[in-house]
Amino acid sequence: MALEVSLEGADPAVCRILEGALAGRQVTAEEGAALLAARGRAMYMVGAVADELRRRDAGEEATYVVNRNINFTNVCVKQCGFCAFSRDHRKEEGYMLPAEEVARRAREAQELGATEVCIQAGLPPGMDGDLYEGICRAIKEAAPGIHIHGFSPEEVAYGARAAGVGIEEYLGRLRDAGVGTLPGTSAEILDQGIRDRISPGRLSADGWESIIRAAHGAGIRTTSTMMFGHVEEGIHRTRHIARIRSIQEETGGFTEFVPLGFVHDEAPMYADGRCARAGADGPDVLLTHAVSRIMLHGIIPNIQASWVKEGPALTQLLLWWGANDLGGTLINESISTSAGSGYGQLARPSEMRAMAAQEGRIPAERDTGYNILRRFGGGEGPEALDGADASRFGSYAELVRSGRFRYSR
Ligand code: SF4
């Protein structure tokens, strides 16, 4: 049976771009922006092509990692307009987890089946140059088998400055202390004009790229990210993706690309009117993931959908719009939660598996480097983290309220 659907009104240029993508032609930033603007039936064509390319790049598995986020301090010298997590060091809500507490959390995570801890935090004033290394050594002592995915390029720049050494030397020190991979956060949008509007004083776009290249050059792989849905236009997103693509063509060091929707609720730049947009709308979220897949096809095989930004229902839908990975269980998600994301701090392994299985995908637990640890066929029993009482992990709100780990210089 031939099913004929009229594509009347669809821009013929969109059809040509999609045909080219299916034939293996690289999509330019300008073409990607045209795909982002597609609506109506043309929009579904973009999704269908992204889904086909997802199948070719990553197959039918939907992966996730069992991990824990440890955001060891919210005290930060910067004031990024999108960040509701950071606190000035004089504020009562400022906290700093000592290395022993970070290590305790890592050990607890490992005992519950986690293979990774994700370590990211604010930039405390007057930081000791060896703080990050000390934290890593404490983690490795408490949980020797756990992978440390830690320190964004912004933190690497800050840590190197505090230690008084160059970036390459500092990366070597972090690696010696136990860091396995870096999160490619602090990328936001790699356009200096946009960065100057949303986060003046932050690491520059060129600075981000140069630290990522230095990490890849040192054999340290990283993720790559993009925060979208604030003051940027479609072309800024697709130029960002094209820039990520060209870095990957040279270094091969990215494990994944993660589009992160802007959470506006508590963001200072939304409250003060610098950004009037309340994040991306539904079609925009779908298309951004689809265009990421189409532009990165054959270059970066893993496109992650973020349940903490988009919620579980939209995340499932994104599995049909180019995404093949569901991210991590997180356990103590704080950064999106503080920005107003209402999707909770923890996704249990059974929830990850259900999200995948309900869409007919094969749920698979992976490690940070996308090695498959287990495939699930259904009928498996609960894991340790499935049965854990979430109250034992504490929440971000409790942490800032209790004053137990109040920051003091
Ligand atoms: S995004 Fe990071 S660097 Fe910027 S204010 Fe928040 S914690 Fe600080």
pLDDT of residue 7: 67
Q: Using alpha carbons only, give the angle 331, 333, 335 rounded to the nearest 5 degrees.
A: 170
Q: What was the pLDDT predicted at 395?
A: 87
181 C-alpha to ligand 1 centroid (Å): 20
Quote the ligand 1 centre to 83 CA distance (angstroms): 6
How does pLDDT run along the chain (409 residues), one tens digit per residue?
667 766 666 788 999 999 999 999 999 999 999 999 999 989 999 999 999 999 999 999 999 999 999 999 999 999 999 999 999 988 889 999 999 999 999 999 999 999 999 999 999 999 999 999 999 999 999 999 999 999 999 999 999 999 999 999 999 999 999 999 999 999 999 999 999 999 999 999 999 999 999 999 999 999 999 999 999 999 999 999 999 999 999 999 999 999 999 999 999 999 999 999 999 999 999 999 999 999 999 999 999 999 999 999 999 999 999 999 999 999 988 888 888 888 878 999 999 999 999 999 999 999 999 999 999 998 888 999 999 998 899 888 888 888 899 998 7
Nearest to 70 by CA among 146, 130, 126, 141: 146
Q: Taking a C-beta distance cutoff of 8 angstroms, is the pair 105, 332 a contact? A: yes
Mutate to test the pocket of ligand 1, among 119, 152, 154 (most ligand atoms within 8 A of CB): 154
Q: Give the structural domain span for 219.
A: 14-32+46-399
Which structure tokens are listed for 159?
């840590």
With the most atoms of ligand 1 within 8 angstroms of its CB, the residue from 82, 86, 93 to mutate is: 86
> Could you tell me if residue 375 is inside a domain?
yes
Residue 315 maps to a domain: yes
**pTM of this prediction?**
0.96
Tell me, in angstroms, the distance from the centre of ligand 1 to residue 9's CA.
44
Which residue's alpha carbon is nearest to atom 4 within ligand 1? 80
112 near 384, Cβ under 8 Å?
Answer: yes
User: How far apart (Å, rounded) are the C-alpha atoms in residues 378 and 380?
Assistant: 6
Q: Are 359 and 319 in contact (CB under 8 A)?
A: yes
Compute the C-alpha angle 54/344/86, nearest 5°: 100
Report pLDDT for 397: 86
- Separation CA 259–CA 291 (nearest Å): 10
Ligand 1 pocket by Cβ (under 6 Å): 76, 78-80, 83, 85-86, 122-123, 154
Which among 52, 61, 54 is positioned nearest to 362, based on CA atoms?
61
The predicted structure's pLDDT at residue 119? 98
**Does residue 218 contact residue 234 with C-beta atoms inside 8 Å?**
no
Q: Is residue 262 part of a domain?
A: yes
| pLDDT confidence of residue 2 | 67
Query: What span, in angstroms and rounded, lies between the C-alpha atoms of 52 and 7?
Result: 19
Q: Is residue 404 part of a domain?
A: no
Domain assignment of residue 266, yes or no: yes
Q: How far, in Å, from the CA of 33 to the mean position of ligand 1? A: 28
Q: Which of 74, 75, 155, 202 to mutate to test the pocket of ligand 1 (most atoms within 8 A of CB)?
A: 202
**How remote is the CA of residue 248 from the centroid of ligand 1, in Å?**
26
The whole-number pLDDT of residue 5 equals 66
User: 332 CA distance to ligand 1 centroid (A)?
Assistant: 18
Dist. CA 365–CA 349, nearest whole Å: 9
CATH for 214:
3.20.20.70
Tokens, residue 67? 């991990």
Give the residue whose CA is nearest to atom 7 of ligand 1. Answer: 122
Q: Which helix (H) or strand (E) holds 375?
A: strand 372-375
Ligand 1 mutation pick, 71, 72, 76, 154, max ligand atoms within 8 A of CB: 76
Domain count, the chain: 1
Contacts 24+ apart (CB under 8 A), 274-282: 274/81, 274/197, 274/198, 274/231, 275/81, 275/82, 275/198, 275/230, 275/231, 277/229, 277/230, 277/231, 279/229, 279/230, 280/228, 280/229, 282/314
Q: Which atom of ligand 1 is nearest to the CA of 74?
A: 7
Choose which residue among 72, 73, 78, 161 to substitute to test ligand 1 binding: the one with the highest number of ligand atoms within 8 A of its C-beta: 78
Nearest Cα to Cα of residue 142 among 105, 185, 107: 107
Q: Are 248 and 26 contacting, i.e. CB atoms less than 8 angstroms apart?
A: no
Q: How far is CA 16 from CA 27, 69, 260, 293, in A?
A: 11, 43, 28, 17
With a CB cutoff of 8 Å and minimum separation 6, the contacts of 48 are none
In a domain, residue 38? The reply is no
Name the residue with the closest Cα to ligand 1, atom 3. Answer: 78
Nearest CA to ligand 1 atom 2: 122
